[in-house]
Homo-oligomer: A and B are copies of this chain.
Amino acid sequence: MNISQAGDASDLSPKTIRYYESVGLVRPDRLANGYRDYGSDQIRELVFIRRARHFGFSVDECRQLLMLYRDPGRESREVHSLVGHKLEEMNRHIDELVQMKSILEQMVSACPADEGSECAIIDSLAEPEPVGGVKAAEPVPVADDGQNAREGR
């Protein structure tokens, strides 16, 4: 099976499949002419990766899942723990988004949305103090996860 057939079978672009190979996920055979040759096991692995990516796993996490997938002696609790951590991460991410969303919604509803220049949204973004009923535009240090690391100084 050549790469575009593999792409059709796994619902990935040939480009993406080559990329996954370049980062060490799926290593196909090569034909005499240098073309990649995929077997059905490899197709299954590509599908596995597409699904895992779809569920929010990073390529690196996919690599780990793939190792577990390939290992007949794996312990299901390893998989469980990996995915459990991912779920916690997703929950934190969702919580943060929902929080941001509701504050934005308050801002939007407080904005007149007319031809005037006065705008509660702009004010909220510019001012540290609550403006027009929008409380805590600064949702206080919500467990800084190291995203805002300061430059070493």
- Interface, chain A (partner B; CB < 8 A): 4, 7, 11, 13-15, 44, 47-48, 51-52, 54-56, 65, 68-69, 71-77, 79-81, 83-84, 86-87, 90-91, 93-94, 97-98, 100-101, 103-105, 107-108, 111-119, 121-122, 124-126, 128, 137-138, 148-151, 153
Contacts and interface: CB of A to CB of B under 8 A. Distances in A.
Contacts of A81: 113
A84 B108 contact: yes
Copies in the assembly, this chain: 2
A151 B116 contact: no
Nearest to A13: B151
A126 B69 contact: yes
A81 B121 CA distance: 11
A119 B76 contact: yes
Nearest to A105: B87
A75 B118 CA distance: 8
A55 B81 CA distance: 31
A51 B125 contact: yes
B126 A108 contact: no
Contacts of A126: 44, 47-48, 69
